[in-house]
Amino acid sequence: MLQTLLLLAHIVIALALIVLVLLQHGKGADVGAAFGSGASSTVFGARGASSFLSRLTGGLAAGFFITSLSLAYFATQVSQPASVVEQIPVEQTKPALPQESQGPADVPQVPPAK
């Protein structure tokens, strides 16, 4: 149950990280804002959006690494058998070979050499 929730959180973080990386501007986009292209009238200010998005991206990246390591830890844990049948050793589940003392077989037997 915990592993399923962790996997779901991992997928949501990965998708959010992809969206945030695609939303961010490159380094060259800041040059236009420096010469008064109107970026200072945004909600976060001239540099506020880039620092906010980069901090959010860093936080999501840290969450992605933590969920990755947690999922790797859970994958290496040995689980107990789920049923009684899985607890039976493999040697006991093999069928016994037919012997001469068990009676006639479907295939004719070769008589022993004298």
Total H helices, total E strands in the chain: 4, 0
Q: Is the pTM of this model over 0.75?
A: no
Secondary structure letter of residue 41 according to DSSP: G
Q: Estimate the crossing angle of helix 48-76 against helix 2-23, to 10 degrees.
A: 150
pLDDT: which is higher, 11 or 90: 11
Number of domains in the chain: 1
The tally of CA atoms less than 13 A away on the side-chain side of residue 28 is 0
Residue 63 counted as domain residue: yes
Secondary structure letter of residue 102 according to DSSP: G
Residue 59 counted as domain residue: yes
Residue 1: predicted pLDDT: 86
Residue 29 counted as domain residue: no
Residue 107 counted as domain residue: no
Residue 56 counted as domain residue: yes
Residues 3-29: tens digit of each pLDDT: 999 999 999 999 999 999 998 877 665
Q: Residue 63 belongs to what domain range?
A: 46-77
